[in-house]
Amino acid sequence: MLVSAKEMLEKAVAGHYAVGQFNINNLEWTKAILTAAEETKSPVILGVSEGAGKYMTGFKTVQDMVAAMVDEMGITVPVATHLDHGSYDGCKKCIEAGFTSIMFDGSKYPIEENVAKTKELIEICREKGMSLEAEVGAIGGEEDGVVGQGECADPNECKMIADLGVDMLAAGIGNIHGKYPENWAGLSFETLDAIQKLTGDMPLVLHGGTGIPDDMIKKAIDLGVAKINVNTECQLVFADATRKYIEAGKDLEGKGFDPRKLLKPGYEAIIDKVKEKMELFGSVGKA
């Protein structure tokens, strides 16, 4: 069932669990994540970065593929198609393509311009029944080519953006995309607590889910995080399983070179990883 992320996240806040956003790159990725969600009866958000959208030949291809897969696979759990870190133009394209949710990453704009563009996009999303995620402060890591300590958002700025009527809010609390450096200081729970106190029931989004220790994930959910983004971790298990298949020479046995066989170990590794995350986030059985 293709839906916006609004209701699933409101339920997550009320039920003290988080819904996973898992980024997709191709058909196998999408099928794996949908399979994991259906088998665990979890709501799920499929994240699509602008780069991944381009790779898959455009947002329309992505949207139509997901809609067809949800139909043909008989998926009953709520599924959202969500633009990840969208530019203003990217948001407009996804709205046109029929996505059910977008993230407008206006963090590169001065705050007044971020507010104006966010407001305009909120209007459109309301009209179309879509959900909108906004970001306050930049979330570091590979996002801007610099790997370092993640930034912490200003709680008052978070409150201001939340009050515009966004459906979910991503705020930097020391998290970063990609692998965490050895000397990472961990999540700033003081910042998260301050943001939650000011924003109330607003579903908070934790980006950079890869590599955050399980106990920190649980604490973040206790403090109001209702959506957690995971991307790199699925890529790592996919690459690892594919490498093992090839290193074992299986592509050279019989028809082992058939892409349906060659990509299977990686596909299965994504299913296992996504299920593991859904269990950790507490979304299992919540669909």
**What are the angstrom distances between the C-alpha of 143 and each of 140, 180, 206, 263?**
6, 13, 14, 28
Using CB under 6 A, which residues numbered 64 to 83 contact ligand 13P?
none
Letters for 101-130 (x = contact with ligand 13P by CB under 6 A, - = none) are ------------------------------
Binding residue (CB under 6 A) for ligand 13P from 37, 230, 274, 280: 230
Cα 144 to Cα 237: distance, rounded to the nearest angstrom: 24
3-state helix, strand, coil in the chain (%, to 5): 50, 15, 30
The answer to whether 28 and 267 have CB atoms below 8 angstroms apart is yes
Verify whether residue 144 is a known catalytic residue.
no
Confirm or reject binding of residue 210 to ligand 13P (CB under 6 A).
yes
64, 71, 84, 258: the active-site residue:
84
Instruction: Pick out residues in 127-166 that bind ligand 13P (CB under 6 A).
Output: none
Q: Which window, 59-67, 129-137, 229-237, 247-255, contacts ligand 13P (CB under 6 A)?
A: 229-237
Among residues 187, 197, 108, which one has the least CA distance to residue 155? 197
- Give yes or no for residue 20 binding ligand 13P (CB under 6 A): no
Cβ–Cβ < 8 Å for 171, 199: no
Q: Count residues contacting ligand 13P (CB under 6 A)?
A: 15
Are the C-beta atoms of 184 and 148 separated by less than 8 Å?
no
Stretch that binds ligand 13P, among 4-12, 117-125, 159-167, 227-235 (CB under 6 A): 227-235
Strand, helix or coil for residue 113:
helix
Task: List residues binding ligand 13P (CB under 6 A).
Answer: 23, 47, 84-85, 177-178, 207-210, 229-233
* Active-site residue set: 84
